[in-house]
Amino acid sequence: MIKFADFSKARMDENNPKWEQAISRESELYTRAYDLRTPFERDEMRIMHSKGYRRLKHKTQVFFAPQNDHVCTRMEHVQLVASVAETICKYLNLNDKLARAIALGHDIGHAPFGHHGETVLQSIAQQNNLPQFWHENNSLRFIDKIETLTDYNGFQQNLNLTYAVRDGIVCHCGEVDERCVKPREDACDLYSIKKGGKCGALTYEGCVVKISDKIGYIGRDIEDGVSYGILKNEQKEELLDLVRTVYPDIKINEMNTSSFTHSLVLNLCSNSSIENGLCFSEDCFQVLKLVKQFNYKNICFHPRIERFKKFATLIIETLFEQLSEYYPNIRENINKDRILYPKLITTFEGWLTKYSDYNLAEKENRRCKNKLIYHIEDEQEYKNCVLDFLSGMSDTFAIDTFSEVITF
């Protein structure tokens, strides 16, 4: 039987010197008698009850707005990452509840149309002198400032999650190629982190999610590529040949998502230690890099996906242009287009009411006690409001509202 390292000394619990920082919240959260949940279990449920989490079922990874029910959405992705992270934590004696909460919330701020949508929003932000857009930071902003729940008095309040969960979310970038990952020593202002992948999580559980994110998407992208016929038999053989350069005895039936995930998790747990961090073996790490390069070459830049990227770019840029043109006569222009674009205007006006000073009386009437983020008389703040609104859209909703704008 394989013996794994014991990370219990680094486990985020009451015995960890970082515990008080990890469970701290911006403000005190209400308590109930006989509540059996840990702080991180409470965070998990607050994330799962948010609308941003629900929209993940219509946000996608690589294949945008799929009609195929069996192609991976971000809802499935975060569940898979949570499952992988819980398994790793179980065998290393880390806090699986913390890891699960981070995993379920890590993509709430992702743009519509996957990483391409993120690229488009980055370009729009740069052209309009808005803050840099990157999805890990946007996930932090959404769980801190956008997502709300109804409290016991019927008021909409921000999620108010623990520092450890918020930290794990903003530090979750799974795109970075690192063989070994260790947590950083000290807490920091999470909004001082300026770029994804450049700052390690405060907890080992956050580091587990970072690795689980990569494990979660790398095998599933191949499966979806096969489902759509994007990967042909000769390309599957090419992938097998790449892996055989490291593991010469691997069989084709061992290259399915489940087996690949199991192998990666087992390798990580077998090669990790508190002293060295969460580590893959050198040969396993090389396989991960080879498979990732294969996916980019044969899936992410496939001609069919490249053509859809042009469509996605047109959708996002058109919606930004449409809503940006309402400034400075915002109320007048919204009222003028209310009949023409009912879905777009209704949802955008609701967004303005909830998060800006557009209609404070109506905000109060709707019992919204969440943070006021935008002062829309300022053009830059108004444009940032539009950008945030678009970033929260699902693929399908973006397509639907775009259709309203271009249809006569």
pLDDT of residue 334: 97
The Cα–Cα gap between 187 and 202 comes to 7
Q: Is residue 245 located within the same domain as residue 382?
A: no
**Among 405, 265, 300, 296, CA closest to 348:** 405
pLDDT of residue 49: 96
Which of the listed residues 300, 321, 354 is the one where a domain comes to its end? 300
| Mean pLDDT of the 254-273 span | 85
Tokens 């801190």 belong to residue: 144
In a domain, 120, yes or no: no
- For the segment 46-70, what is each residue's pLDDT rounded down to a tens digit? 999 999 999 999 998 787 777 778 8
Q: Which domain holds residue 349?
A: 303-406
**Three-state DSSP class for 200?**
coil
Q: Is residue 172 located within the same domain as residue 245?
A: yes
pLDDT of residue 198: 79
pLDDT of residue 20: 97
Helices of type H across 49-107: 51-54, 74-92, 96-105
Q: Is residue 201 located within the same domain as residue 55?
A: yes
Please, what is the average pLDDT of the chain?
91
Q: Is residue 197 located within the same domain as residue 251?
A: yes
Q: Is residue 310 located within the same domain as residue 273?
A: no
| Mean pLDDT of the 82-97 span | 97
Q: Is residue 94 located within the same domain as residue 189?
A: yes
pLDDT of residue 255: 65
Q: What b-and-e string marks burial along 294-320, b requiring 16 or more CB atoms within 10 Å of the CB?
A: bbeebbbebeebeebbeebbebbbebb
pLDDT of residue 322: 98
Which of the listed residues 245, 279, 300 is the one where a domain comes to its end? 300
Q: Is the pTM of this model over 0.85?
A: yes
What is the residue type of 94?
Answer: L
Q: What b-and-e string marks burial along 140-178, b requiring 16 or more CB atoms within 10 Å of the CB?
A: bbbbbbbbbbeeeeeebbbbbbbbbbbbbbbbbbbeeeb
Which of the listed residues 300, 320, 335 is the one where a domain comes to its end? 300
Q: What b-and-e string marks burial along 182-197, b requiring 16 or more CB atoms within 10 Å of the CB?
A: bbeeeeeebeebeebb
Torsion of CA 241, 244, 250, 254, to 10 degrees: -50
- For the segment 317-353, what is each residue's pLDDT rounded down to a tens digit? 999 999 999 999 999 999 999 999 999 999 999 999 9
Give the pLDDT band of residue 251 (cuts 50, 70, 90).
Answer: low
List the structure tokens of 356.
């800006």
- For the segment 94-151, what is each residue's pLDDT rounded down to a tens digit? 999 999 999 999 999 999 999 999 999 999 999 999 999 999 999 999 999 999 999 9
List, as own/partner pairs, every contact residues 26-35 make where C-beta atoms lie below 8 angstroms and the sequence separation is at least 24, other chains included.
26/144, 26/160, 27/160, 29/160, 30/151, 30/152
In a domain, 122, yes or no: no
List the structure tokens of 188.
């920091």
Percent of the chain whose predicted confidence (pLDDT) is above 90: 70
pLDDT of residue 43: 97
Q: Is residue 85 located within the same domain as residue 190?
A: yes
Q: Do 175 and 161 contact (CB within 8 A), yes or no?
A: no
Is the predicted pLDDT of residue 254 greater than 90, yes or no? no
Q: Is residue 190 located within the same domain as residue 317?
A: no
pLDDT of residue 341: 97
Is the predicted pLDDT of residue 288 greater than 80, yes or no? yes
Tokens 């702080």 belong to residue: 39
Q: Count up the domains in the chain and report the number.
A: 2
Q: Packing angle between helix 395-406 and helix 303-324, nearest 10 degrees? A: 60
Q: Is residue 307 located within the same domain as residue 296?
A: no
In a domain, 260, yes or no: yes
| Mean pLDDT of the 18-39 span | 88
pLDDT: is 93 or 248 the higher one?
Answer: 93
Residues linked to residue 60 through DSSP beta bridges, in sequence order = 73
The Cα–Cα gap between 253 and 94 comes to 32
pLDDT of residue 361: 97
Q: Is the peptide bond before 39 cis (omega within 30 degrees of 0)?
A: no
- For the segment 169-223, what is each residue's pLDDT rounded down to a tens digit? 999 986 667 888 999 999 999 999 988 777 899 999 999 999 999 998 887 888 8
Q: Is residue 154 located within the same domain as residue 286?
A: yes
Q: Do 278 and 181 contact (CB within 8 A), yes or no?
A: yes
Q: What is the CATH number of the domain that holds 157?
A: 1.10.3210.10
Q: Is residue 252 located within the same domain as residue 367?
A: no
pLDDT of residue 253: 63
